[in-house]
Structure formats: structure tokens, C-alpha cells
Chains A and B, each alone.
Chain A
Amino acid sequence: MRYLPHTDAARREMLAAIGAPSVDALFRDVPASARLDGPIAGLPTTKGELEVERHMAALAARSRPAGTMASFIGAGAYRHHVPSCVDHLVQRGEFLTSYTPYQPEVSQGTLQYLFEFQTQVAMVTGMDVANASMYDGATATVEAVMMANRVTKRGKAVLSGGLHPHYRAVVETHARFGDFRAVCAPPLPAGGEDLASLVDGETSCVVVQNPSAFGQVVDLSPLARACQAKGALLVVVVTEIVSLGLLSPPGAMGADIVAAEGQSIGNALNFGGPHVGLFATREKYVRQMPGRLTGETVDADGRRGWVLTLSTREQHIRREKATSNICTNSGLCALAFTIHLSLLGEDGYRRLAELNHANAVTLAGKLDGVRGARLVTEAFFNEFTLKLPVPAAGVVDELAAQGILAGVPGGRLWPERPELADLLVVAATETNTEAEMDLFASKLEEML
């Protein structure tokens, strides 16, 4: 087998050196009742590369890639154009097949790019410091809640109704089995939520997504002040990181912690994973941050270098008292983010955001008013919500058959809220053409 280099002769020589009669003898501690005599039944045997490729290609062919259709789906994952050199760099063996940088002398490549990543994330979110990434935006959000609980020594988290329902569900899972409560405000598609009134002396944090799951953009400064007055932390969630190329960042609005999804930069949709969670906070909370942190230092010759630091917060040292049980970060996805953002730079990041917003404004203009469809979102970045005169799920399925991924129907995201079933959450990015938008509008008109 191509991945297993030993010949039978080599195996015999090695067994002789060990002094064992057979490899089976090395498994002598396995109870007889659990020993399997041969390869497990019900699974195929080894296949050559060509055959495996065919099998995988056949599986891939049974789905319709977003790129083969006019794609307008967002809701937490966004289809952007990733420059070709990102994937080439990420596939260099020294990045792809290297391990966590616990031995810094032979990991300066990884450590330096993580330091750059941490800096980029702090910059775009307007915060003081960021970690070296988490699994995704949803897990970053629940880690932010748990951090707020530790910092404030309180146990009640207030979640905005505009928080992505999947993110809310993840927080609820942890609340149910952890030691805190989550109070969830109802979703209000047209905005107008009053979270400040839900904040009291027991509140550890308020979690609000901006732009919201409906696409709505709001000024969070009044909410930040209300939280501060009660000693609670403001956790701001961002699911579309490109938005910060144009929008005022959470740090400028008074956020204490930012939990975000970085997939939009450098990473393909990948059917939902792997993505890359971003986590940033203020300097004073640094020692309460979960996840890995890279820090600058010098080596024995006085030369600048980087190491993993503040590890005593982490599971492999604190064990029961760790700030989190997390072990891996999103390594390669964080690298892709860093490389793409390096290519974009100040000007490119801003221009990319402007393209996204312009396309969304144009699309909203074409769809608003089509046979009773009504734009619900006032201010938005690249995602908005339409209220349709019929349930949205049927419209989405019909349009998919016609080559249009029209967005996400409210019933898919909020199945427990029948009043939202006629909502359609629509996104536009720089990858959408005017022709696609016109097609969407005309097909929607036909359908309604």
C-alpha cells in the first residue's frame, strides 16, 4: 500500500530486533473477547488513487456548487472571491503538515503569521488584542459568554433576538449543561429591539450581532453605555467580517468582547466547515481570554521572535481550572485569512466592502416591491430581509430548480416561529453580477 512503506522483509527484521514472534504478540493485552481476526467486515478494501478519485468525484457531482448558480445565500457564511495565491501558499507543506508551534525554534513561520493574524483581527474589530482563532463564530460566541461570566462573576447572559439562531442554540446548549442562564429576546425582523431594559445587576453580558441575522445595522453605543452602567459586558458578534471594511467597528461602539466568523476572508464555504472563529477583547481582560495566544519576545541571541504565551490559562496546564477546554485553533484557516487580508490591505479591504454594499443596495432596489415583496431592513451592509406575500421556503426551492440560490427562508432559521416563515434573508457579494440580480428579480416576479 502506497502510504505504508514497510516490506514484509523489513517487518520480519524489526520483529526479530524486538524479540516478538509476530505483530499479534504485541497486541497481547487486548482481551480475547475483543480481538478481531481479520479486517472488519462491511467495509471495502484498499483502493488505488484513480479509483478513490472517481468515487469522490462521483459524490461531488451529486451536489450543485454555489458557483454554478446565481448565489445569494448568506446567513453566517458568505461566498467571496479568494485570490488564487492564497490556496497555493496554504498548501505549502511547511504550513499544511506542520504541528502546533509548541517548539518555537522550529515554528517561527507559524508563530509569525499568527502574530500578524492577531494584529489584523484587533485592527478590523477595533479592539486591543485578539487570540489565534477558534473553531468558528458560534463557538467563539459561547466562549465570549463564558469569559464574561468569569470576569463579572455573574451568571446571566442576555441574547439579542437578532443573534444568528444557530449561535443562540450553541449558547443555549452550554447554558443548559453549564453553570449559567441564557435569556433570549425574541427576533424582531424590522429592528426596534430594546435590550437595555433587560440588563440588570445579575447580567454578565449582552450578546448582540451587528449586522444582525436579518442584516440590520445599528449603533450599539447606547447599549454599550447601558451595559457599563450595570457592570455587564457587551459582546458583539460579527458574522460577515467584510462588513468592517465599511462599518464602524465594535471597538468604536464600546464592545468589551468581539466574537466573529472570519470565513469570508480567505476561506471557501466548505459546506459549513472548517471556518475560523475570531475573538478579540480589551487589554484588561487578556488573562481571561480563551484559546491560544502568540506573543513577541527575543531569543538567546537577542533576535526578535515569537512564542505561544499565557498558556497557563489553557487546558494542558490548568486542567480543571482552565479558561476553556479548547485545544486546537483553526490554524490553516487563520493563515488563509491572514494571507487574503494581506493582499487586500487597507485599500482593498475598503473597496471590497464597498463593492459588497453597492451590490446589496442594487439588489435590494430590484427586489423591493416585486409583486408585494417588501424590504424589511432599513440599514444594512450586504445582507437584508424581504417579507414575501407567500411562505419563503417554497419560493426558495422553486428558484433553486431554476438555478438561483435565493437566500435562506425564515422557516429554515427560525422553524419555531411561524410568523417568520414568509421572510427571506438575502445576501449579495462582489461575486454577484448585475445579470444574476436581474435574473433573480425577474424569476421572483414570475413566481409570485
Chain B
Amino acid sequence: MSELRYTKEHEWVRVEGDVGTCGITDYAQSQLGDVVFVELPAAGKKVARGGEAAVVESVKAASEVYAPVSGEVVESNAGLPDNPAQVNQSPMGDGWFMRIRLSNPAELGELMDEAAYKAYLATLS
């Protein structure tokens, strides 16, 4: 059973067991425009919740991607650097950035669920 959670910085994490797959949301990719480049963390890198984990660049903007949860990076999306358009086309699916082994699953409780994130988006526009 996987849990999907969101951050205020528009990252999402889908947790199965103790590993969370992370990426940026559809709202984030539409704000960025065409993604031209991504910089992903190496496996083994330790990340803290809210700390910089990756970089995503579009033609007009560059943005840090923050780790939604603390832990260790077990894998990055190897196919993404060669095909950054995936972030625009499938931000919640094939456009995932990295997988993190959670060091503190309790953090999930502090993130927004689907309904809360939708409500948050409504306040932005």
C-alpha cells in the first residue's frame, strides 16, 4: 500500500515499505516550462528533509529540488538526464527523480496528503 505525500515546495513522495520515490508535481513542471536539464544525487548520498537534493532547469528558470524526507538515496532515475522532457510529460510517473530510504518515517505525518495539497494549490492562484 503506497502513500503519496506532498511538500509546500511542490515535491511529492510515494512510499512503499521504507523507500520513497520522489519527484516534482504537475504544478511545479507547468510553472517551470520545458525542462532542459536535471542534476540528480548519487546513490548513497544522505539527505535531510528540506535539504537540497537535486536541481531542475528549464529555459528560463533553475530550481532546487528539496528532499521531502530524510534518508539515504538508493537510486536516481538514470534515464532522466537524457530525456528531461519526462518531467513535463509524466511528472508523477516516469519523470521521478530519486528513491530515498527513509530514516524517519514519522516525517510523513508532517507532509500534505492529496486533498491538502489540492487545497494548498487553490490558495496560490
Contacts and interface: CB of A to CB of B under 8 A. Distances in A.
Decide if A and B touch, CB cutoff 8 A. yes
Interface of A: 287, 311-313, 317-318, 321
Contacts of B37: 287, 312
Contacts of B62: 312-313, 317-318, 321
B58 interface: yes
List 10 A-B pairs, minimum CB-CB distance, nearest first.
A312-B62, A312-B57, A318-B62, A317-B62, A317-B61, A312-B61, A317-B60, A287-B37, A321-B62, A312-B58
B42 to A, nearest CB: 13
User: A287, A312, A313, A317 — which one has the most chain B CB atoms within 10 A of its CB?
Assistant: A312
Contacts, number: 17
Nearest to A321: B62
Interface string B22-66: 000000000000001100000000000000000001111110000
Interface string B61-73: 1100000000000
A321 B61 CA distance: 12
Contacts of B61: 312, 317
Nearest to B60: A317
Nearest to B57: A312
A290 to B, nearest CB: 15
Nearest to A318: B62
Interface in B9-24: none
17 contacts: A287-B37, A311-B59, A311-B60, A312-B36, A312-B37, A312-B57, A312-B58, A312-B59, A312-B60, A312-B61, A312-B62, A313-B62, A317-B60, A317-B61, A317-B62, A318-B62, A321-B62
Contacts of A311: 59-60
A287 B38 CA distance: 11
Nearest to A312: B62
A321 B57 CA distance: 13
Given A312-B36, A312-B57, 4 more contacts: A312-B60, A317-B60, A317-B61, A317-B62
B57 to A, nearest CB: 5
A311 B58 CA distance: 10
Contacts of B60: 311-312, 317
Nearest to A309: B59
A50 B25 CA distance: 66
Contacts of B58: 312
A311 B61 CA distance: 9
A317 B60 CA distance: 7
Nearest to B61: A317
Nearest to A319: B62
Nearest to B64: A321
Contacts of B59: 311-312
A313 B57 CA distance: 9
A446 B116 CA distance: 91
Contacts of A317: 60-62
A313 B36 CA distance: 13
B9 to A, nearest CB: 16
Contacts of A312: 36-37, 57-62
A249 B17 CA distance: 56
Contacts of A287: 37
